[in-house]
């Protein structure tokens, strides 16, 4: 039987914490102006998708609120960009228009250009034989800066941890112990790669602490606790197109789990003369094989919808 710590919360409204410590930087909020912070930014998903759905609202200091909004800005535009990852989600016409508008307006922090103009061209020259060479041109869709994406994920996780550890009498929540260990970020076309597939298998039976699905599927989160150590796994999906996974807590425990994941399957082509080329193709994931946000075997606790 699954532990009863997973509570089925109201699906149709936000949870509001009246915390007096900023969940992002731990500053004391009693002595400074407080902002109302949506852990899932209302503009991070298509407009209106969070209306009448679950969210988490906390108090935060102004600088943290601004920093998070800045991270959400181009990351939202890129994850909603139609080329970033084909999605199963139901984009109505308004959401499609909004995605295009955002792509025109938001500046990619990687390219310093609007997201819509942030395709990245790469040319790769591979020597072949004594005199020849292959040239490959790649155009990639707008890319998220990985450090910024994992920083945004870290802030969202800090918000969630403050909620699940919230002490009513102290009016504050707490964080995980140990470190923050991001593992990998993948686009939908590569949801089935060996590292993330092995990750999903490795942590599936850990105790779920948060399983969240909101904004009509445009946001998903899962935090699971290791059965015997101060260690948690986490996974998120943003706007149906991007998944990020990682761990929190005891580094030694994380290392044991991570050492068993993967490796990614590389193709190897011998080009003669000792030259070679290695590459990897993306691995899609069939819905029936998707375990990243699944409950452990036999568990029937309702999801936090
Ligand atoms: Zn702060």
Give distance in angstroms: CA of 17 to centre of ligand 1: 15
Average pLDDT on 298-303 reads 64
User: Mind listing the pLDDT tens digit for each residue in 125-143?
Assistant: 766 666 777 777 778 889 9
Give distance in angstroms: CA of 30 to centre of ligand 1: 12
Beta-carbon count within 10 A of 34 CB:
17
Residues with CB under 5 Å of ion ligand 1 are 22, 24-25, 61, 64
% of the chain exceeding 90 in pLDDT: 69
Is the confidence at residue 8, as pLDDT, over 80?
no
| 217 within domain boundaries | yes
Domain containing residue 227: 14-82+143-289
8 Å CB contact between 205 and 296: yes
Give distance in angstroms: CA of 27 to centre of ligand 1: 6
Which value, to the nearest 10 degrees, does the dihedral of the CA atoms of residues 25, 30, 31, 32 take? Answer: 60
| 115 within domain boundaries | no
Give distance in angstroms: CA of 33 to centre of ligand 1: 11
Give distance in angstroms: CA of 181 to centre of ligand 1: 21
| 116 within domain boundaries | no
| 133 within domain boundaries | no
Give distance in angstroms: CA of 285 to centre of ligand 1: 38
| 98 within domain boundaries | no
CA 141 to chain centre: 18
DSSP-assigned letter for residue 273: T
| 102 within domain boundaries | no
Band (pLDDT 50/70/90 cuts) for residue 145 is very high
User: Mind listing the pLDDT tens digit for each residue in 241-262?
Assistant: 999 999 999 999 999 999 999 8
The average confidence (pLDDT) of the chain is: 89
Band (pLDDT 50/70/90 cuts) for residue 279 is confident
Give the range among 75-79, 158-162, 270-274, 278-282 with minimum mean pLDDT. Answer: 270-274
The number of distinct structural domains making up the chain is 1
């Amino acid at each position: 039987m699954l532990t009863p710590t997973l509570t089925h919360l109201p699906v149709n409204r936000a949870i509001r914490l009246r915390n007096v410590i900023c969940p992002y930087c731990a500053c004391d909020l009693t002595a400074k102006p407080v902002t109302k912070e949506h852990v899932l930014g209302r503009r991070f998903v298509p407009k209106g998708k969070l209306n009448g759905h679950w969210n988490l609202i906390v108090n935060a200091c102004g600088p943290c609120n601004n920093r998070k909004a800045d991270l959400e800005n181009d990351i939202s535009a890129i994850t909603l960009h139609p080329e970033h990852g084909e999605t199963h989600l139901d984009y109505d016409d308004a959401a499609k228009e909004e995605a295009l508008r955002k792509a025109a307006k938001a500046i990619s922090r990687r390219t310093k250009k609007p997201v819509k103009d942030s395709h990245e061209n790469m040319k790769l020259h591979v020597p072949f034989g004594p005199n020849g060479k292959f040239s490959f041109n790649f155009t990639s869709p707008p890319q998220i800066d990985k450090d910024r994406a994992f920083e945004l994920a870290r802030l969202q996780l800090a918000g969630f941890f403050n909620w699940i550890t919230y002490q009513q009498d102290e009016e504050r929540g707490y964080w995980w112990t140990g470190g923050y260990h991001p593992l990998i970020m993948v686009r939908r076309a590569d949801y089935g790669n060996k590292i993330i597939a092995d990750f999903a298998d490795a942590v599936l039976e850990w105790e779920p602490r948060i399983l969240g699905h909101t904004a009509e599927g445009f946001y998903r989160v899962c935090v699971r606790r290791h059965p015997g150590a101060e260690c948690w796994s986490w996974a998120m999906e943003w706007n149906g197109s991007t998944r990020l996974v990682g761990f929190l807590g005891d580094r030694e425990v994380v290392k044991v789990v991570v050492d068993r994941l993967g490796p990614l399957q590389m193709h190897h082509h011998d080009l003669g003369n000792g030259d070679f080329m290695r590459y990897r193709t993306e691995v899609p994931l069939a819905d029936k094989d998707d375990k990243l946000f699944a409950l452990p075997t036999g568990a029937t606790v309702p999801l936090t919808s």
